[in-house]
Amino acid sequence: MKINKKIKNGIFIAIVAGSLCIGGTMAYLTDREETVNEFTVGKIDIQLLEPHWKPEENKNLVPTQEILKDPQIKNTGQNDAFVYLEVAVPVRNVITADREGNRINKKNTELFTFSAGKEWTLLQSVQKEENKVYTYAYNKILKPSETTSPLFEKVIFANIIEGQLDAQKLSVPVKAYAIQSTNTGGNSGSVVEQAKTAFQKYMNQNQG
């Protein structure tokens, strides 16, 4: 508004100045207008929830035990966001058994398995030290006060032959991430594709 007003006045004054040279004295009719725009900086903030996770009930695990664990993200900030969950599953070189009880030779095995929900898309899975790390993107833009569906409902402990991991402390750490959805995911493609683009930008920004 201010820019357009200045341009119009500039053109108008130039015409009047030219007329002065030809026809004598003229008075300038001028106007000035100023607009002050106030901007509020947004905020990206999330909360990682696991409503059914009860650590006190998950000690002394036995093979094939199911453990309730339901990670989800709540947007507690002020801006729409792409959100992600990272799950690190411990890997050990162990002997296991199949469903029929047949012994499987020792090999690197993920000690817990899970089934991801349909509203989540796997972006990458990488080996990091003694963990297999999975990163998932939520298939929708998460608005303020909204909560995602759980990435999964439970994890299942592997069918480990006894005596290999006795008294060891195991964990399946989960991390939640959020990236503003405005100006980060590109202008085309599905929400998932945009979330991938935003995540790659985040990774590039945080390399090194």
Q: Give 173-188 pLDDT, tens digit per residue.
A: 999 999 998 888 777 7
Q: What is the number of domains present in the chain?
A: 2
Q: Could you tell me which residue, 1 or 142, shows the higher pLDDT?
A: 142
Query: 18-27, 41-50, 137-146: which range is least confident on average?
Result: 18-27
Determine, yes or no, domain membership for 126.
Answer: yes
In terms of domains, do 26 and 65 share one?
Answer: no
CA distance 90 to 110: 6
Determine, yes or no, domain membership for 12.
Answer: yes
Determine, yes or no, domain membership for 112.
Answer: yes
- Is-contact 91 165, C-beta < 8 A? no
In terms of domains, do 52 and 2 share one?
Answer: no
CA distance 101 to 113: 18
Q: Are strands 112-113 and 120-128 parallel, antiparallel or unpaired?
A: unpaired
In terms of domains, do 6 and 73 share one?
Answer: no
CA distance 119 to 142: 12
pLDDT digits (tens, 9 = 90+) for 6-35: 333 332 222 233 333 334 444 445 444 454
In terms of domains, do 70 and 142 share one?
Answer: yes
In terms of domains, do 62 and 134 share one?
Answer: yes
In terms of domains, do 102 and 32 share one?
Answer: no
Query: Which CATH number goes with the domain that contains 177?
Result: 2.60.40
The mean predicted confidence, pLDDT, of the chain is 81
- Is-contact 137 192, C-beta < 8 A? yes
Q: Is 138 exposed, middle or buried (0-12, 13-18, 19+ CB in 10 A)?
A: buried
- Give the domain extent around 5: 1-38
Give the number of residues written for the chain: 208
Looking at residue 34, what is its pLDDT? 55
Determine, yes or no, domain membership for 107.
Answer: yes
pLDDT digits (tens, 9 = 90+) for 58-109: 888 899 999 999 999 999 999 999 999 999 999 999 999 998 889 999 999 9
Determine, yes or no, domain membership for 1.
Answer: yes
In terms of domains, do 3 and 34 share one?
Answer: yes
Looking at residue 208, what is its pLDDT? 54
Determine, yes or no, domain membership for 200.
Answer: no
In terms of domains, do 168 and 139 share one?
Answer: yes
In terms of domains, do 65 and 155 share one?
Answer: yes
In terms of domains, do 99 and 22 share one?
Answer: no
In terms of domains, do 63 and 8 share one?
Answer: no
Determine, yes or no, domain membership for 203.
Answer: no
Looking at residue 172, what is its pLDDT? 92
In terms of domains, do 23 and 72 share one?
Answer: no
Determine, yes or no, domain membership for 24.
Answer: yes
Please, which pLDDT band fits residue 151 given cuts at 50, 70 and 90? very high
Among the residues of the chain, which ranges form H helices? 2-23, 191-205
